[in-house]
Structure 1
Amino acid sequence: MKTIYICTDTVTGIFSGIYDAWKAEGEEDTCGIALRGALEQQLFCDYVETVETEHKAVVVEAMIKKNLGRPAYWDIYHAALAADGGKGDAILGTMLAARRLRDSRRIMEHLSHPAVEKVFELSRTVGGEAHAFKGFLRFRELVNGVLFAEITPKNQVLTCLAPHFADRLPQENWMIYDNAHKTFVVHEAGKKWVLGLNEQLDIDAVRNISDREREYARLWKGFFHTISIESRESRSRQLQHLPLRFQKNMVEFNH
């Protein structure tokens, strides 16, 4: 009988499920992880609801860093942020496979293993999207002086973006809202950023931008229209460098 641990689609949830599976001394063919809301029930499986706690997540994080190394941990962490229903199984499978190696820190070199290959691919996908948003994300200054940005990512990349902007805007009050996953990051000037989950956005507040922001937006759009050469415009080439899904949150494309 295979035991499937059901958890939420969060790093804490997935790591809690892995904690329970590891504690039960399961193997790849006797245990698995399923995300709540994306569960496809199978025959001859026992489904267990995971009790999620920060303690379990911290223990698993420390175990990965100690036995698999920090590079492998970041691959696993990024994979846990991916928009993929099978990521929990892949992460657990990678960790169980590492347990059989003489040098578990070399686990990410074993791409012939399906679970390791999937974790590697998911990590690369999440890292690529986060890197793109570092260039495509646009802040707007609200009337209250807070810098606000909205994104609509496929993956849960907020925790990848927050350190980047905290390093570059340490003395600014700013907020990034993930419209796809209803989460946000808030940074208060001179302090550390914090992550908020399952929160609704105050639409009226974030649309109330400052007069200075309106003027800069007008000048920015004017600059782009001025330098554009109509005869050399190529919509297909533009989409190669700036996919359509990024454009709806960028001031350059808001008319």
Structure 2
Amino acid sequence: MKTVYVCSDTVTGIFSGIYDAWKTGRGEADCAIALRGMLEQQLFCDYVEVEETEHKAIAVENLIKKHLGRQAYWDIYHAVLAADKDKGDAILGTMLAARTLPDSTRIMEHLSHPKVEKVFELSRTVGGEAHALKGFLRFQELKNGVLYAQITPKSQVLTCLAPHFANRLPLENWMIHDKSHDMFVVHEAKKKWILIWDDMLDRKGSLEVSEKEARYSRLWKDFCKTIAIESRTNRRCQLQHLPLRFRPNMVEFTN
């Protein structure tokens, strides 16, 4: 009977599920990963709830880096962040396929394998969204002086964005709010960033922007309208360079 390991849609959850499946030594046809809340039950399967721990997640991370290589690890890690209910099973299948190769570090070259191909595509999708948000994300200064930005991504890309902005704004207090997944990345000046969930954040301060920020926002909107040439507007070209889904969180497109 096939065993399906049910876990949460987090890095710790999926890696813990892979840990339990890997430890059994069973093949791809005999085990699978399913995400809690996205489960489609099938006949003749044994469903097991995964005990999720940091120890298991770290063990799987080290296993991937040692036997599959760091590049494969980053492809797998990005795939974990994707918005796809079958990602856990694709990652497990990729790792089990790597176990059969003479050189497991070349697993991501085997795109003829459907699970490897899926991991590759998910990694590319997450990387593309994170890259786009590095340009489309907009910070606004709050009354308490903190720089605040909100995004509504499809994938859980906060851990991809945080190192980028921590490197560019090391002396600033800033936070990025992922409204799609109820998560925050918070950076205190001269310190390391941390990832927290919405229910863990103490929102004593208001999210109202400062007077200076409001003034500059108005100036920026007026500037964008002034330089626009109505007769040369190309909506199709605009959509190619700035998709509609990024616009609601950008100052230029807010009322």
State TM-score, norm by structure 1. Answer: 0.97
Q: Is the 8 A contact 1:182 1:200 kept in 2?
A: no
User: Which residue matches 2:206?
Assistant: 205
Per-residue CA deviation, residues 55-106 of structure 1 (Å, 9 max, x unaligned), is 0000000000000000000000000000000000000000000000000000
RMSD: 1.3
- Alpha-carbon distance change, 235 to 199 in structure 1, aligned in 2, over 3 angstroms: farther
2:72 matches 1:72: yes
Equivalences for 1:200-239 in 2 at 5 Å? 202=203, 205-206=206-207, 208-239=208-239
User: Which residue matches 1:126?
Assistant: 126
Structure 2: unaligned runs, 5 residues or longer: none
> Alpha-carbon deviation of 1:12?
0.5
Cα distance in structure 2, aligned partners of 1:171 and 1:64: 34
Q: Is the 8 A contact 2:4 2:47 kept in 1?
A: yes
> Helix, strand or coil: the match of 1:134?
helix
User: Which residue matches 2:181?
Assistant: 181
Equivalences for 1:60-99 in 2 at 5 Å? 60-99=60-99
2:28 matches 1:17: no
Structure 1: unaligned runs, 5 residues or longer: none
Cα distance in structure 2, aligned partners of 1:231 and 1:200: 50
Cα distance in structure 1, aligned partners of 2:189 and 2:205: 23
Per-residue CA deviation, residues 172-199 of structure 1 (Å, 9 max, x unaligned), is 0000000000001000000000001243
Cα distance in structure 1, aligned partners of 2:249 and 2:168: 20
Q: Which amino acid aligns with 1:189?
A: A
2:111 matches 1:111: yes
Cα distance in structure 2, aligned partners of 1:82 and 1:174: 25
Cα distance in structure 1, aligned partners of 2:178 and 2:112: 35
Q: Which amino acid aligns with 1:156?
A: Q
Q: Report percent identity of matched pairs.
A: 72
> Alpha-carbon deviation of 1:200?
7.8
Q: Is the 8 A contact 1:152 1:179 kept in 2?
A: yes
State TM-score, norm by structure 2. Answer: 0.97
Q: Which amino acid aligns with 1:190?
A: K
The size of the alignment, in residue pairs, is 254
> Helix, strand or coil: the match of 2:51?
coil
> Helix, strand or coil: the match of 2:12?
helix
